[in-house]
Amino acid sequence: MNLTHLHRNTVKLILGIILIISTFSCRKEVPQINQPERYTQTNFADIFQSYWTGMNNSYIFWDIDHTNWDDVYKKYKPIFAKLNANDSTDIRKAYTYFKEMTSNLVDSHYTLKFNNDYLQDSAWIQPARSRHEKQPGYHGGFGKNFFKYTLMKKYLDTGAMFGDVTTYDRNYVYAVAGKIKANNILYLHFNTFYLKEVYGYTGNFSLAIRRTLQYYLDQVRNPAGLRGIIIDVRSNGGGQLADLDFLIGPLTDKSYVIGATRGKSGTGRLDYGPWIDAKVNATGANAFTAPVIILADVNSISMSEMTTMAIKALPSGNGKFVGEQTWGGTGPLSRNEFFNSGQFSTGFFRSVYTSSLMMRDKDGKIYENIGLSPDIEVKYDAAAIALGNDPQLERAINLIP
């Protein structure tokens, strides 16, 4: 090898080394992701960006949602940039844009609650409710009076109980418990899942509902002669998860899996943590083996649906679901920090109310925006109800031998 050749090789080598070293800086820039609450709300560019970013990072259903969130960004970012945050007409326009862009989100808990004075008279934006209300055959919820007077009088024995209470955080909770007339079948209805909490209250103001719940607990703990149980969650909008063990735990002597949940592991839309088993924790001395029927309807949401899953998954195989397809809001809610996912707020939104976790049933099926299908379908019958009859309850009673 002569000297010129050696020099040429050395130059090539140095160039190669420079090329390789220069590649060390070839990385994409890491964007700064700001907390939605931290954006100023003095202009609609920021209002939109804070909301879009919060959804981009905290919304749990991107895996199954068909809304293209990038397209939302491309379409609405320039539109919002032209709006004036101090103009009431523009604020109303913004309301309609938010309604449009969220209309197909699958999260059936999803609710946008506004903070703006100009929107105080506006209904919350609830995409799932809008979709349900457009469905043929959709009906409103049963009222308390139907259960307290009509159902109790016609279907329950004289020993049946009713109790209600307003909780410390201003939730109205009531429960009805008793035996079906001329049948040793236990019946329980309640409007919301706050039962364990109100059961733990002391003081006369909660006495009636505690007695009502005590009646249910005494019966399921000593079920000798009980032919079956009917748990009625029709028109029940959900509530606290602790009630699952409170209500269903006494029916089983071994904990069992009803499905699984998963949260987020990072800021990416598809950054999911592992599926973690969702269980009913047993509190019973023995398994309850007689039929357990859950009555649910289109207005049965969230914990009502999880309870339906729990009854259908009872280890003794004695659970059945009667009624209508449920709402389809099965994702549990918690604080955003617990799972780095779910609800958040911005200056413009008092709350972007959205599920913290994605849930599937024990067979791996996700019912979000779909709802659980009944084993035995009995449609809501407005005419029968107006006459004081309850065909769904009657069908449930007839299923118990």
Partner 1 sequence: MKQKHLLLCLVLIGTAFTSRAQFSVGLETGINKNTLYTNTGFDAFTQYKSSNGFNIGVPVRYDFNSYIAIQADPQYIQKNYKLARTDFYDGVYTNYRNSYVQLPVMAHLSIGDKKLKGFLNLGAYAGYWASSHIKGTQPDIFGKSNDDLDQYTNLLQLKPGVKFDQKYDFDSRRDRRIELGALIGIGIEYELNSRYQIFAETRYYHGLTDLQKNYMIEQVPRYNQTFTGQVGCMYRFGK
Q: Of residues 5, 27, 66, 170, which one binds partner 1 by CB under 8 A?
A: 27
Q: Which is nearer to partner 1, 35 or 88 (CB)?
A: 35
Q: Are strands 276-280 and 256-262 parallel, antiparallel or unpaired?
A: antiparallel
Among 2, 3, 4, 23, binds partner 1 (CB under 8 A): 23
Q: Does 16 bind partner 1 (CB under 8 A)?
A: yes
Whole-angstrom Cα distance, residue 336 to residue 357?
A: 10
Task: Report DSSP letters for 64-89, one per residue.
Answer: T----HHHHHHHHHHHHHTS-TT-HH
Smallest separation (angstroms) from partner 1 to the CB of 82: 20
318-347: which residues touch partner 1 (CB under 8 A)?
A: 332, 334, 336-340
Residue 308 phi, psi (nearest 5): -65, -45
Q: Is residue 357 near partner 1 by the rule CB under 8 A?
A: yes
**Residue 257, Cβ density class (10 Å: 0-12 exposed, 13-18 middle, ≥19 buried):** middle
- DSSP category for residue 177: E
Classify residue 399 by burial, with Cβ atoms within 10 Å: 0-12, 13-18, 19+. middle
Secondary structure (3-state) at 401? coil
Closest CA to 345 of 8, 130, 115, 156: 115
In three-state secondary structure terms, 126 is coil
10 in helix, strand or coil? helix
| Six-digit token string for 388 | 């004081």
Please say which residue, 53 or 299, places its beta carbon nearer to partner 1: 53
Work out how close the CB of 154 gets to partner 1 at its nearest, in angstroms, rounded to a whole number: 37
Nearer to partner 1, 20 or 224 (CB): 20
User: Whose Cβ is closer to partner 1: residue 242's or residue 399's?
Assistant: 242
Binding mask 66-105 for partner 1 (x = CB under 8 A): ---xx--x--------------------------------
Strands 349-353 and 111-114: antiparallel
Q: Per-residue x/- mask for partner 1, residues 48 to 67, rule CB under 8 A?
A: -----x--xx----------
302 part of the interface to partner 1, by CB under 8 A: no
Contact characters 255-284, partner 1, x per CB under 8 A: ------x-xxxxxxxxx-xx-xxxxxx---
Chain residues in the site for partner 1 (CB under 8 A): 1, 9, 13, 16-17, 20-21, 23-24, 26-28, 30-36, 53, 56-57, 69-70, 73, 241-242, 244-245, 261, 263-271, 273-274, 276-281, 332, 334, 336-340, 356-357
